[in-house]
Structure 1
Amino acid sequence: MTRVVFLLVPELHLLDLAGPAQVFSTAADQGLRYELAFVAEREDVPTAQGVPLKASVELPSLTAGDLIVVPGWRAPALRDTGRLQARTLAWLRAHHTAGGTVASVCAGADALGRAGLLDGRRCTTHHDVQDELARRYPKATVVRDVLYVLDGTVVTSAGIASGIDLALHLVAVRHGPGAAARIARQMVVYARRNGDERQASAMLRHRAHVSDAVHRAQDLIDARFADRLALSDLAAAIGLSERTLTRRFAASTGLTPLRYQQELRTERAEHLITQGATVEAAARAVGFQDARMLRRLRSRGASASA
């Protein structure tokens, strides 16, 4: 069970909180093991939109696998807003020191900065306060005009709706792109990647369409990309003929179902290789019988990006 603890600061923006909370709540509804908690320095927490919230005042003990998220607050300026006590900042710092992940939405990055977690790191925040964040934490590198930035176990996002993108990415890292895609579909949002990185995920590149049948086919391929998937079985599961599925899939994604599966396999294999796996081991792990096909697809991808 992963605990996701939201640290609520007075005058917080509801969407900064609700967006990521909805992602992890939907993940839990879909069988992933997440438990949400909400803490604050005072039980009653006013919000920028006027809806009062209640939270626990007990700061829980966490494990390295747990996550702390600091939603942003109304901040025409960072200075003199979003105050937090020294013990709360020490709790943030201790969780990070123990190997845990800390994340922020919008002005929440300032809380991480006050905890000393931005020094020497790349980070981002809402465009209205980017300059001030850079001045307040000169040892940090503020990345501008991106959705979110990951630097080790410190994750910051630009604000408001980008907290959804950040949370979907964290789910994808832990459970794979298929899980993130299913949650995005349930929430009726478009899963995006960070603006300063290559759009590396095939799932994300090829999900910007409105064909429900193709989305359902992609869900099946995402979940079983390492298995042998016969086109006839895939079409039967969707309730279409093989020819109709292939035609609709190509019209929506620009790929055949097989080519889409190969892209998923290749990208997963690339990740395994960067983590130290041999090409042969990575090929077997993603469903190739040997490394020859993986090498061929990697070569094709390198030529296309050259």
Structure 2
Amino acid sequence: MPRLQPVYLLAMPNALLLDIAAPAEALRIANHQQDEIRFALHYVGTQPSVATSIGLCVSPLDVLPDSVPDDAWVVVTGTVEKALPVQTFRDGMPPDIAPAPLPDAEAQAIAWLRRIVRPTHQLICICTGALLAARAGLLDALACTTHHGSCDALRTLAPGARVADNRLYVRDGNVWTSAGVTTGLDLMLTLIADATSPVCAAAVARQMVVYARRAGADPQLSPWLEGRNHLHPALHRVQDAIAAEPAHDWTLAAMADIACTSERHVTRLFREHAGVAPVDYLHRLRIALAREMLGNSQLDLEHIAQRAGFGSSRHLRRVWHKFDTLPPSRARGSAG
């Protein structure tokens, strides 16, 4: 049976709809890409229905539950000051009226976050959702970010926080914050990769036709996601196959067979769309696999080399130094 991962998504009045829909859609797709974890979404709010940034209403919402499971993800989405005015008429009736936000909705949400969020939870703030978390005192002394237009406001609300500009997202312990709008999807892809596997996250990204990006100070992308920011289906087939079995005895001919093309052309596809030669792409994933085993197992380097697809520890070391100036021994116990 798959393990359930509860996700509580807080939707406030004037919620930015993309902050809700994009991460939720990524989780939906992730549920269909693997069988180990099922993301169970719970939509919560200060009232049963709220109007979003573009006038559409989100309902039904569970009104601020008294408790959430210890392992839950709590997602706080952003809002806009001025929502798109929308009026609809049906059968000559007066226009629909969006549910009016409660006057103390923000205060209720702040009190709820302050009461609910624990170190066992993952607190995920998308866009200006970080401002609500700051008002709840949940970002004190933490590194964080938000929409570039709200960084100064975040500094005012959380003077003890280390607010980073020009970041797609920031993690500090169990607290994640992201910049504006679409970066919530970048953040969710990272969370999906951590919870399931980088291969699953890459499949979700491909399904949504979006790939993880980096801002100047962001950590390096996972090797499993690098080189996937393209739309060439044949190359994606090859990359999927390599990612599924990086230790397989991959030859250029085998890659060409999967791509249904020639060896020369598959080399051209890798260079043009992934920016690397086929062997370098393969080595990158094998080194990533070796790094994970170094961090999460007690296997000696010789066994790790064999399981990662290298002929020997000597071969592993030689390839390793193309990607890292530090020796493999420094990666022991440091995965994640």
Q: Same fold (TM over 0.5)?
A: yes
1:165 maps onto 2:202 in alignment = no
Instruction: Confirm or deny: 8 A CA contact 1:46 1:53 kept in the other structure.
Output: yes
1:237 maps onto 2:258 in alignment = yes
Q: Deviations over 1:173-197 (max 9, x none)?
A: 2233222221111111132245423
Distance 2:64 2:105 in 1: 22
Q: Calculate the aligned-residue CA RMSD, in Å.
A: 2.6
Distance 2:183 2:145 in 1: 11
Mark the runs of 5 or more structure 2 residues left unpaired by the alignment. Answer: 83-103, 327-336
Distance 2:53 2:131 in 1: 17
Distance 1:103 1:194 in 2: 19
- The one-letter amino acid paired with 1:37 is H
* Identical-residue share of aligned pairs (%): 36
Q: Hey, what does 2:23 align to over in structure 1?
A: 20
What is the number of equivalent residue pairs in this alignment? 297
Bigger-Rg structure (1/2): 2
Shift of 1:118: 0.9
Shift of 1:72: 0.5
Equivalent residues in 2 for 1:147-296, closer than 5 Å: 147-193=168-214, 195-273=216-294, 280=301, 282-284=304-306, 286-296=308-318
Distance 2:33 2:295 in 1: 30
Instruction: Confirm or deny: 8 A CA contact 1:45 1:52 kept in the other structure.
Output: yes
Tell me the TM-score normalised to structure 2 length: 0.79
Instruction: Confirm or deny: 8 A CA contact 1:192 1:204 kept in the other structure.
Output: no
1:70 maps onto 2:91 in alignment = no
Distance 1:169 1:233 in 2: 30
Distance 1:274 1:84, change over 3 A: farther
Distance 1:31 1:50 in 2: 35
Distance 2:215 2:310 in 1: 30
Mark the runs of 5 or more structure 1 residues left unpaired by the alignment. Answer: none
Distance 1:270 1:105, change over 3 A: same
- The one-letter amino acid paired with 1:253 is A
Q: Hey, what does 2:51 align to over in structure 1?
A: 46
DSSP-derived class of the 2:108 partner: coil
Distance 1:288 1:174, change over 3 A: farther
User: Which shifted more, 229-238 or 115-124?
Assistant: 229-238
